[in-house]
């Protein structure tokens, strides 16, 4: 047991965070033309800058990497310039923010791909999931398997996106290796039946995730590189026959690369924590830098896990939507507001930037 608290400063690499509470990535589908984050995004993130660390919504590294309508990118100059407004807003309020780098792989639709092309995947296996396109949820499209000689280009897209994020003023990046998207698809044998150097063994299926991480570290430094993983989440139709062996190996290699954190979805994304047997403590013991715990945390569970040394930082997702001042509400044990499900995805300021802080909401 320790006497640490969630509300004390924390050192993350070369950064000092004001507390141990992380705002998890939250897809809100509000990018403007050219998939550029606009002034509303700057207001939204600025409102939530009291989190110790903000992790941006998932942001595609290329048009091929997009899987949902109106999600932002980080591959054009206009997108870089749009994100700079966001980072300025956060930094002006003393916050810290990482950009989450995203390639959805097979979780996409032909209407989002250039020239109506098929989405890409480790293997030509359609995901049992839906995506949000043309203002509604529809079944994802049939993917094609990536050729071996295409993988270096995807690694380079992640590398360039990381450089673009730093140009936009982010404090670092989080590689999205979770929730059934491309890197997770490669890692899990339910989606990857390749027989080349990127399929088959634990080592081979981890290769693309580790290649990407090594390239990002080389580009921007290990102290500015984190990654999100979800070893047992069935999100977007992925499955793994031996997740413990797979992710023990992955975390060993991530530790060797010296990245600043691993962000672990403990259980089913947005669902039960005990969806399948898994020893998350094994990942914690294998990784020498910061461990961010995610999934179903409230104040009491986070405080208990911190006291037991099971994690360093704790990510809260949907509570941040309706509670821009979530840190203060948790600190004072004030009631939490509920979000409006009808305004989660797409739209304008309603259900995005119009949730009041508690001081405002208690004084009409």
SS3 (DSSP) at 358? helix
Q: Is residue 163 within 8 Å of 172, Cβ to Cβ?
A: no
- The active-site residue out of 181, 249, 297, 355 is 181
- The residues that bridge with 56 in the sheet, in sequence order, are none
Structure tokens at 155: 């690694």
Strand partners, 267: none
- Could you identify the residue written with the tokens 């999600």? 71
Q: Each residue of 101-110: b (16+ CB within 10 Å) or e?
A: bbbbbbbbbe
End-to-end alpha carbon distance in the chain: 43
Q: Can you tell me the distance from the alpha carbon of 349 to that of 337, in angstroms, rounded to the nearest whole number?
A: 17
* Two tokens, residue 43: 């207001």
> Is 181 an active-site residue?
yes
CA nearest neighbour of 327 among 10, 100, 3, 23: 23
Q: Which residues, in sequence order, are bridge partners of residue 226?
A: 174, 261
Reduced to 3 states (helix: H, G, I; strand: E, B; else coil), residue 290 is strand
Which residues are catalytic, by number?
A: 181
């Amino acid at each position: 047991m320790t006497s640490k608290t969630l509300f004390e400063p924390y050192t993350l690499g070369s950064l000092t965070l004001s507390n141990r509470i992380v705002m998890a990535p939250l897809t809100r589908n509000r990018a403007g033309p050219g998939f550029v984050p606009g002034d509303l995004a700057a207001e939204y993130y600025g409102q939530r800058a009291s989190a110790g660390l903000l992790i941006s919504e998932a942001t595609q590294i290329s048009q091929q990497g997009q899987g949902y309508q109106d999600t932002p990118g980080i591959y054009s100059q206009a997108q870089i310039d749009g994100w700079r407004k966001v980072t300025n807003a956060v930094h002006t309020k003393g916050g810290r923010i990482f950009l989450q780098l995203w390639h959805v792989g097979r979780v996409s639709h032909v209407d989002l791909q250039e020239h109506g092309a098929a989405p890409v995947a480790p293997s030509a296996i359609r995901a049992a999931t839906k995506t949000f396109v043309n203002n509604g949820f529809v079944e994802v499209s049939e993917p094609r398997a990536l050729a071996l000689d295409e993988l270096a280009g995807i690694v380079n897209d992640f590398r360039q996106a990381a450089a673009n994020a730093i140009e936009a003023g982010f404090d670092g990046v989080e590689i999205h290796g979770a929730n059934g998207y491309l890197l997770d698809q490669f890692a899990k044998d339910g989606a990857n039946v390749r027989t080349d150097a990127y399929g088959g063994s634990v080592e081979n299926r981890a290769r693309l995730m580790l290649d990407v991480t090594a390239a990002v570290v080389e580009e921007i430094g290990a102290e500015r590189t984190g990654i999100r993983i979800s070893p047992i989440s069935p999100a977007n139709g992925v499955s793994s026959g031996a997740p413990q062996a797979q992710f023990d190996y992955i975390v060993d290699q991530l530790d060797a690369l010296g990245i600043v954190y691993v962000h672990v979805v403990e259980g089913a994304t947005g669902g039960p924590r005990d969806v399948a047997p898994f020893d998350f403590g094994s990942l914690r013991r294998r990784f020498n830098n910061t461990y961010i715990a995610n999934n179903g945390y409230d104040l009491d569970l986070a405080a208990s896990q911190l006291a037991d040394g099971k994690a360093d930082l704790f990510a809260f997702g949907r509570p941040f939507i309706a509670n821009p001042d979530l840190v203060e509400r948790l600190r004072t044990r004030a009631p939490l507001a509920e979000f409006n499900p009808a305004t989660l995805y797409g739209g304008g300021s309603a259900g995005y930037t119009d949730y009041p802080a508690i001081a405002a909401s208690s004084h009409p």
